[in-house]
Amino acid sequence: MILEALAAGLPVVCHDICGMHLAVTDECGIRVPLLNRQKSIEWFAEALLRLRDVAYYNRLSEGALQRADELTWDNKVAQMSSEYATVIAPE
């Protein structure tokens, strides 16, 4: 669902765990530390309130579209191919 949200230009608010730390950057969303239930509730609420700032929301929305493009399979294949070519290229 994260990639679908980014592709729709929606800023993502998520816990800063697992792969979310890699997928969601400061340019496309807000990562909330996972400490305990009460802190999560407070920090998610604060993050959502921050999104009321239209300029901030719009900046994250543009970042979400860019991040979604970076995370496409075609782009990942191109990155991996480039890495492999670097490793196996003759000197």
Domains, in order of start, for the chain: 2-88 (3.40.50.2000)
74 or 49: which leads in pLDDT: 49
pLDDT-derived band at 90 (thresholds 50, 70, 90) equals low
Q: Please report where in the chains the tokens 């309130």 appear, as a residue.
A: 49
pLDDT in tens, 7-55: 999 999 999 998 888 899 999 999 999 999 999 999 999 999 999 999 9
**Model's pTM, two decimal places?**
0.80
**Torsion, Cα of 19, 24, 25, 28 (10° steps):** 170
- DSSP-derived secondary structure for 8-56: TT--EEEES-TTHHHH--TTTEEEE--S-HHHHHHHHHHHHHHTTSHHH
- H helix count then E strand count, the chain: 5, 2
Whether the pLDDT of residue 75 is over 80: the answer is: yes
